[in-house]
Amino acid sequence: MVLSSSSILSILVVLLLSPFVVSFTIQDRFLQCLSTTSHSSYPFSTAMYTPIDNSSFATVLLSTAQNLRYTLPSVPKPDFIFTPFNESDIQAAVVCCKQLGIHFRVRSGGHDYEAVSYVSEIESPFIIIDLAKLRSIDVDIEDSSAWVQAGATNGELYYRIAEKSKTHGFAAGLCTSLGIGGHITGGAYGPMMRKYGLGADNVIDARIIDAQGRILDRQAMGEELFWAIRGGGGGSFGIITAWKVKLVPVPENVTVFTVRKTLEQGATKLLYRWQQVADKLDEDLFIRVIIQTAGNKGNRTISTSYNALFLGDANRLLKVMEEGFPELGLTPKDCIETTWLGSVLYIGGYPSTTPPEVLLQAKNILKSYFKAKSDFVQEPIPETGLEGIWMRFLKEDSPLMIWNPFGGMMSKISESETPFPHRKGDLFMIHYVTNWQNASGNVGRHIKWMRGLYKYMKPYVSKNPREAYVNYRDLDLGMNRNTRANFKKARVWGAKYYKDNFYRLALVKSMVDPENIFRHEQSIPPLPLHMR
């Protein structure tokens, strides 16, 4: 167990001075404040985990921490974790943190790529407000909507929808352990985005706790803040306690497939072709490409897996493919007809015999040490460009790219409709990852490799700005260095995530949280006074 220097100091001071000093640590002052601020009648200590008092502190801290790189002993740890049971606990926590000047981070599903939801590298001490206990889901099929609390995962939401209807779904992420709280704040793309857009495009209401500790719904928060929270990134505007989402129609039977090609099987030419067609195919069809290395030392090669969801039956899919992408050579044998929930498990990477109840466990099947980045591509990358990528891939232990096709609904929504600006003109998004499983492995080597690949890709991807997906957070793009986030500096990385929407996000921030109590390494800074 690792203690932050401040808690070690607190222990020393308490040991030296007790019994003369009683209420001293920040958790004591926080508890004291909660009990005077909140109307709840239960002891708040049962929602508090400190490194000194609670043996389960580490378990709770690590429970949803997805990037193991941020769990190493050298990484700063919170003074304590607060796990509220309901909205009113969160209100009290916000009021008390503000009053006592305690820096806090907010965590729903813990998938943040740079762990800003559970690690502060710029301010110490800090605490975590972890929403894992707020996970109720209320599906209303008649209204085609659902209220889902922030701590629930997208997988739980999919399960609860399918439990009530075989012809309703929700358009959001592919990985099924994402916290719906953080996920939607950045956009939330998935296999139905070409037909229905992002998760954020399908939000109809929300509940947020603001900097004053008030609970606001859409009407009370107003359309500016409601705009900002649907794509403007997490942890900047308040604590979302629940989203009301619009369900989308799905057919009773859908079709999925995965077709794999290695370099020896013509992967390069085929991938060049995919880039020309993937965004123009029928909107019912989403074909992403998963690119990895395969084989051993002697026969190591590149493997490209065309992994797809089609909102229709296999017969129609075969026709759509014959017209739009015959080069893949899809056969009836490749096609698997299943329900929409079946497709969620398939695309989520579960073996075919896995019961859907696995989604209720809300666990990620692939935790690792990783560094990731993203890019948007507007012109097909020529074959020579691809060959340079393969060369780099073959030098790394466990490299991965996923290419996600845009087009369809994505190009019908304007850049300013939500803060997520990557719309018309984007053929596909690249997601780069390098993974390692060994804690004492050479972190620097992997990160260097990733930065090298990113540099290599520059001529082939979006420019001015080089765009990035905020849900694939990358602190290499720039970050707030201290409490007084600097708007001018932040504009550099802000434009990559939000393009021209960044200014409007900063303006909303100035209105709702001018003191910047909701902040982290890449939170939206308030505008400087003279610009408001």
Ligand X SMILES: Cc1cc2nc3c(=O)[nH]c(=O)nc-3n(C[C@H](O)[C@H](O)[C@H](O)COP(=O)(O)OP(=O)(O)OC[C@H]3O[C@@H](n4cnc5c(N)ncnc54)[C@H](O)[C@@H]3O)c2cc1C
**Residues in contact with ligand X by the rule CB under 6 A:** 66, 105-113, 116-117, 131, 150, 173-175, 178-179, 181-183, 185-190, 234-235, 239-240, 364, 471, 520
Q: What are the start-end ranges of the H helices in 39-179?
A: 57-63, 87-100, 154-164
Smallest distance, ligand NAG to C-beta of residue 159, A: 20
| CA 56/CA 243 separation, integer angstroms | 30
CA 281 remoteness from chain centre: 27
Smallest distance, ligand NAG to C-beta of residue 145, A: 23
Give how many residues touch ligand NAG by CB under 6 A. Answer: 24
Q: Which is nearer to ligand X, 129 or 330 (CB)?
A: 129
Six-digit token string for 425: 């003109």
Q: Which is nearer to ligand NAG, 294 or 475 (CB)?
A: 294
Write out the E strands in 442-514.
none
DSSP H or E stretch at residue 10: helix 5-17
Q: Which is nearer to ligand NAG, 257 or 469 (CB)?
A: 257
CA separation, residue 210 to residues 90, 120, 520 (Å): 10, 21, 16
Smallest distance, ligand X to C-beta of residue 105, A: 6
53, interface contact from ligand NAG, ligand X, none, CB < 5-8 Å by kind: ligand NAG
| CA 292/CA 301 separation, integer angstroms | 9
Q: Contact region for ligand NAG (CB under 6 A) — 13-21, 174-182, 292-300, 519-527? A: 292-300
Q: 3-class DSSP state for residue 380? A: coil
258 to 277: interface string for ligand NAG, x by CB under 6 A: ----x---------------
Residue nearest to ligand X (CB): 234
109, interface contact from ligand NAG, ligand X, none, CB < 5-8 Å by kind: ligand X
| CA 467/CA 374 separation, integer angstroms | 8
Tell whether residue 167 is a contact of ligand NAG (CB under 6 A): no
Smallest distance, ligand X to C-beta of residue 275, A: 20
| CA 470/CA 524 separation, integer angstroms | 11
| CA 109/CA 184 separation, integer angstroms | 11
Smallest distance, ligand NAG to C-beta of residue 102, A: 18
Q: Which is nearer to ligand X, 160 or 520 (CB)?
A: 520
239, interface contact from ligand X, ligand NAG, none, CB < 5-8 Å by kind: ligand X
190, interface contact from ligand X, ligand NAG, none, CB < 5-8 Å by kind: ligand X
Tell whether residue 294 is a contact of ligand NAG (CB under 6 A): yes
CA separation, residue 41 to residues 35, 38, 45, 136 (Å): 9, 8, 12, 22
104, interface contact from ligand NAG, ligand X, none, CB < 5-8 Å by kind: none
Q: 3-class DSSP state for residue 257? A: strand
Q: Contact region for ligand NAG (CB under 6 A) — 358-366, 406-414, 425-433, 434-442? A: 434-442
Q: Contact region for ligand NAG (CB under 6 A) — 28-36, 83-91, 150-158, 445-453? A: 83-91
182, interface contact from ligand X, ligand NAG, none, CB < 5-8 Å by kind: ligand X
With CB under 6 A as the contact rule, the residue among 138, 140, 143, 252 that binds ligand NAG is 252
DSSP state at residue 35: H
With CB under 6 A as the contact rule, the residue among 222, 441, 452, 514 that binds ligand NAG is 441
Six-digit token string for 531: 């610009």
Q: 3-class DSSP state for residue 491? A: helix
Three-class DSSP labels, 272-339: HHHHHHCCCCCCCEEEEEEEEEECCCCCCEEEEEEEEEECCCHHHHHHHHHHHCHHHCCCHHHCEEEC
Q: Which is nearer to ligand NAG, 124 or 253 (CB)?
A: 253
Contact status, residue 284 vs residue 320, Cβ threshold 8 Å: yes
Instruction: Count Cβ atoms below 10 Å from residue 8 Cβ, excluding itself.
Output: 13
Q: Which is nearer to ligand NAG, 125 or 235 (CB)?
A: 125
Q: Which is nearer to ligand NAG, 143 or 252 (CB)?
A: 252
Tell whether residue 88 is a contact of ligand NAG (CB under 6 A): yes
| CA 415/CA 61 separation, integer angstroms | 37
Burial class (CB in 10 A: 0-12, 13-18, 19+), 179: buried
Tell whether residue 301 is a contact of ligand NAG (CB under 6 A): yes
| CA 115/CA 102 separation, integer angstroms | 19
DSSP H or E stretch at residue 498: helix 487-498
Q: Contact region for ligand NAG (CB under 6 A) — 3-11, 84-92, 367-375, 493-501? A: 84-92
Tell whether residue 45 is a contact of ligand NAG (CB under 6 A): yes
Smallest distance, ligand NAG to C-beta of residue 250, A: 11
88, interface contact from ligand X, ligand NAG, none, CB < 5-8 Å by kind: ligand NAG
Q: Which parts of this chain interact with ligand NAG (CB under 6 A)?
A: 40-42, 45-46, 48-49, 53-54, 85-86, 88-89, 252-253, 262, 294-296, 299, 301, 438, 440-441
